[in-house]
Structure 1
Amino acid sequence: MPSPLPAGSVLDLAPVVPVLVVEDAADAVPLARALVAGGLPAIEVTLRTPAALDAIRAVAEEVPEAVVGAGTVLTPAQAADSTAAGARFLVSPGWTDALLEALRASGVPFLPGVSTVCEVMALLERGVREMKFFPAQAAGGTAYLRALHGPLPQARFCPTGGIGPDSAPGYLALPNVGCVGGSWMVPADAVAARDWARIERLARAAAALSAGGTCR
């Protein structure tokens, strides 16, 4: 079983969670090291490529200072496979009762995805208070989350989807946002060129966004 998170919550590890699509598992370790060196220890590897589970396994084994998780978890089997590979948190773009049961059974923190008030209320009813808001920009952005806080202040979110360095501070300033997910600090051309120094610089700039937000 993966070790528990240092802060007990994915939302409290860093202001930004890098969302990775890893095509080559060999890139996972140097990529994770660059992100950690830049101040972003929580790393979400999406299950969108055949290399994803091997990438999670490699980071879990070789970069202990990273907190690696699995994203785009769609099925109970993927939840089990991800934790077996060493994922320390799980993220899904949405949820069903079957998936939620598997996320609970995983033994690690999880962020089921929501985009409507009804979905948020349904999760709160099931005892889940921390969620992914996806797709953030398309689903209403900061205005939507600000409106949710009044009637549902107990819900906390990691907005993801269409967020960049210019829009991230607006999200982080909201009282119901703990962190944001994004991929702007891991541009495809930098990964392809294996320009880990550039990724570290971008990660450091993203980590500095905490100065204007609520997540430390």
Structure 2
Amino acid sequence: MADTLAIMKMSPVIPVVTIHSVDDAVAMARDMYDGGLKTIEITQRTQVALEAVRAIAQAVPDLCLGVGTVWTAAQAHEALDAGAQFIVSPGIADEVGAVCRDADLPYLPGAQTVSEVAHLVRQGWQQIKLFPASVIGGPSAIKAYAAVFPDVRFCPTGGITEQSAPDYLKLPSIPCVGGSWLATPATGDEPAGQSPTRAAAERAARLGR
């Protein structure tokens, strides 16, 4: 199993997706993988999220599948049972971290402030999600965070767009960003026969290069 940093380096963007339809989720995940993105985070915010995780794990087995918005140990166990290959929390959730350690499961805990990052570092975490990135000050703020925590690698998420992502990815402390724009409606600019999600994934896979 890959470690957290290896997962962060798989693609410049980890799609962050809230699922409302299992069938749509499988098609979307396949489009993202075929477009060049190797990871996805399914947020645990809907009733069908874990069902979608199971379906995606079966239909797109090479996609590195994460479950996000995990706050409790019970949710972490449910995600693990559903087939999660990594778990993400939007903020500090030490009991989730404990489950992931026991299961040897990659974990990306969340923080917003310098004090929260310091807490996670004391807990032994060196890869941290910063959420919501646009609210805490964007790339300039994260550059300052990295000066205080030079060994930490960050995955900023929240308010990031296809246009702003390169400003984050040029920072050496940021191997990837989380993006919710990937599951996108059609714009009319896609190649004939190509879904807008796959087109967005292809563009995202080239970011930071």
Normalised to the residue count of structure 1, the TM-score between the two structures is 0.89
Aligned partner of residue 171 in structure 2, secondary structure: coil
Query: Which AA in structure 2 matches 1:156?
Result: R
C-alpha separation between the residues in 1 aligned to 2:60 and 2:2? 15
Residue in 2 aligned with 1:106? 103
Deviations 1:119-140 (A, max 9, x none): 1111111111001000000011
C-alpha separation between the residues in 1 aligned to 2:77 and 2:194? 31
| Residue correspondence of structure 1 range 1-216 to structure 2 within 5 A | 4-5=1-2, 9-187=6-184, 197-211=195-209
Residue 107 of structure 1 and its aligned partner are, at CA, apart by 2.2
Residue in 2 aligned with 1:214? none
C-alpha separation between the residues in 2 aligned to 1:110 and 1:7? 6
Change in Cα spacing, 1:162 to 1:173, as seen in structure 2 (3 Å) is same
Kindly indicate whether the alpha-carbon contact (under 8 Å) linking 2:69 and 2:90 is maintained by their aligned counterparts in 1.
yes
C-alpha separation between the residues in 2 aligned to 1:65 and 1:210? 23
Specify every segment of 5 or more residues in structure 2 that has no aligned partner in the other structure, as ranges. Answer: 188-192
Kindly indicate whether the alpha-carbon contact (under 8 Å) linking 2:11 and 2:37 is maintained by their aligned counterparts in 1.
yes
Deviations 1:79-136 (A, max 9, x none): 1101111010100101133232123223211100001111111111111100100000
Change in Cα spacing, 1:206 to 1:103, as seen in structure 2 (3 Å) is same
Aligned partner of residue 195 in structure 2, secondary structure: helix
Residue 188 of structure 1 and its aligned partner are, at CA, apart by 5.7
Query: Which AA in structure 2 matches 1:174?
Result: L
Deviations 1:161-195 (A, max 9, x none): 000011100100011111000111212679xxxx9
Kindly indicate whether the alpha-carbon contact (under 8 Å) linking 1:31 and 1:196 is maintained by their aligned counterparts in 2.
no
Residue 11 of structure 1 and its aligned partner are, at CA, apart by 1.0
Instruction: Please give the root-mean-square deviation of Cα atoms over the aligned residues, in Å.
Output: 1.8
Residue in 1 aligned with 2:190? none
Runs (4 or more) in structure 1 with deviation over 3 Å come to none
C-alpha separation between the residues in 2 aligned to 1:196 and 1:62? 19
Residue 196 of structure 1 and its aligned partner are, at CA, apart by 6.6
Change in Cα spacing, 1:102 to 1:6, as seen in structure 2 (3 Å) is closer
Query: Which AA in structure 2 matches 1:11?
Result: M
Percent identity over paired residues: 42
Residue 149 of structure 1 and its aligned partner are, at CA, apart by 1.5
Kindly indicate whether the alpha-carbon contact (under 8 Å) linking 2:90 and 2:110 is maintained by their aligned counterparts in 1.
yes
Paired residues, what number? 204
Aligned partner of residue 166 in structure 2, secondary structure: helix
Normalised to the residue count of structure 2, the TM-score between the two structures is 0.92
Query: Which AA in structure 2 matches 1:25?
Result: V
Aligned partner of residue 207 in structure 2, secondary structure: helix
